[in-house]
Structure 1
Amino acid sequence: MTDKTPLMIDMLGGAVGLLTPPPTTPLDYGRKLIDGGLSAVNMTMALYARDIKPVLVEFFDWQNLFADAGETLLHVRTTEDILTARAEGKLGIIQGVQGLHFIEEQTPYIQILSTLGLRVAALTYNEATQFGAGCMDPVDNGLTLLGVRAVRELNRCGVLIDVSHAGERTSLEIAERSEKPVAATHSNARAITDSPRNLSDAQIKAFAATGGVIGISPYSPFCSLDERPTLEDVLAHFKYVSDLVGPEHVAIGTDFFPHSKVKWENGTRRMYPEMVGPFLFETLYAEGLAGHADLPNLPAALERAGFSTSEVEGICGLNGLRVLKAAWGA
């Protein structure tokens, strides 16, 4: 990475399995993400946890990982940590969850989790939770009273609210209630690709109005309804959101998860066929932006698509940095 390489933040870049080092250098965690130009990545913890115990165990594992793999990984608690990771050639790890269902009705847990290092949280995954509707639910009654309380606590505790998986009404009410910017960390434009996981124009405008960002993903079901998308198809989503609300509200959210063919096709693909469509493991991400190794090509591709150098710098990392700082506070 050179001084001219833009700061790059992946607003949703997978889970801990992506960091696995080669056997010959067993503490070289996250090397392929660092080589992909990333300075920080939001990593999802305990995706399918149903209570808080496995989440606490994962925090324990992360604490040991930060201590033992400190040559390559840096625990991000503030935006200054992201800048430190960039300066030192390390990968800053932002700890996040895609759904707070595991805290049950205990919103005081949010403060505890924040103290441990939680910095990004969604209230729902695809299904409804005690807080509101998920984007795959046929009925969306909006935020519950518990959801209103959770929004307030996340704001108070300095945790960025991720609205990627929330139902449309629920997400709009989150944006209305939140006193800090919200982010759709990995969502594309429904006007281009009519996926239930993508965002309506109303959602994009509402999230931008909070000062937030939309992280564009090369995940194939978000970019195409039939055949594997290309990099040009992904760029179309960057352009659409930028034209609608301004490039300062656009970011990167790859959704690059450490899937295996057997696990993904018998998990996500079977659970959410309405969202996944015809895609298989081999076609899960867009050609030309199919993994972190392709990320170094994105800045130049954005410039070819018509974005200025300063806009590219914003999309790659500075927009996300701004939103994280506003959400996290001091």
Structure 2
Amino acid sequence: MQRSLVVTGKGPEVVDTQGDFAGEGDTLIEVSHSSVNYKDAMALTGDRGVLRTLPLVPGIDAVGTLDDGTLVCVNGRGLGERRHGGYTPRLRIDAQDITRVPSRFTAFDAAAIGTAGYTAALSVAGLERAAFEVDGAVLDGPVLVTGATGGVGSIAVQLLAARGHEVWAVTGRVEEHGAWLRELGASEVLDRAEFEGKGKPLKKARLAGVVDTVGSTVLANALSQLRWGGVATACGMAAGNDLPASVLPFILRGVQLVGVNSVDTPNALRDEAWGVLDESLHTDAIRTEQVGLDGVVEAGRRLLVGEGSGRVVVTL
């Protein structure tokens, strides 16, 4: 009997797979892998801000094959939130919501990339697109990546460095992870404490760009350090969904803030992001841990308390 992980009113449990766990859609995917993202970790606690209904199979990523053997993935699209997600071996979804995985990636690679890597690529593509629109050139100066040891942040560091950008990585665990972040391509590793707490509306302009994964005061302080025409992307809110910032960076320095929504991104931008991954991602650089369904809950717990780093791949 095949097994699935489902969250009920009593919490998460691994159970025999039921037919309705596959959901509805015109295309069937035989799921081989998923991953554990921050949103999945929240769902495993029963967080109703993520889970719109119960019982529900979590897993905002699904990687598997079509009936002709084509390797595909689904990132977001309401999986694990509005409908059953990737922690089950069969998934039905409309063909328009499926992404074909570039040929150089394996199923394990695609799951290691997952929503985190895809979001990192969306952020990098959005950053480069906005910067090009300002002066038709690449970003002139360092790009700051916050939450750099997380799934999104660590892949963003590697992608940016591979694409020729100077990268400054921000982490609350400099001594523990500083060497790893430099291996990924960061030229500077900064302590998160420099960006916490209320700061001045404008600080020394030293950044060309920001890829922010945490929000709140960290993003506000990063915005205040952008140079004229600098660009920041925002894709996460682990530190809070508030933004205690001033309009001064936008008015006096002409900076831009680009939002990144990985769940509902149109197909053209999804394809652009996977193109960035295909061009620039070194899969060996992704720090991965592999678990089965019985290891998902513990992996989610560690992610929520800040003990995890890199990516957790779930093999069904």
With the length of structure 1 as denominator, give the TM-score of the two structures: 0.26
Higher Cα radius of gyration? 2
Choose between structure 1 and 2: higher strand proportion.
Answer: 2
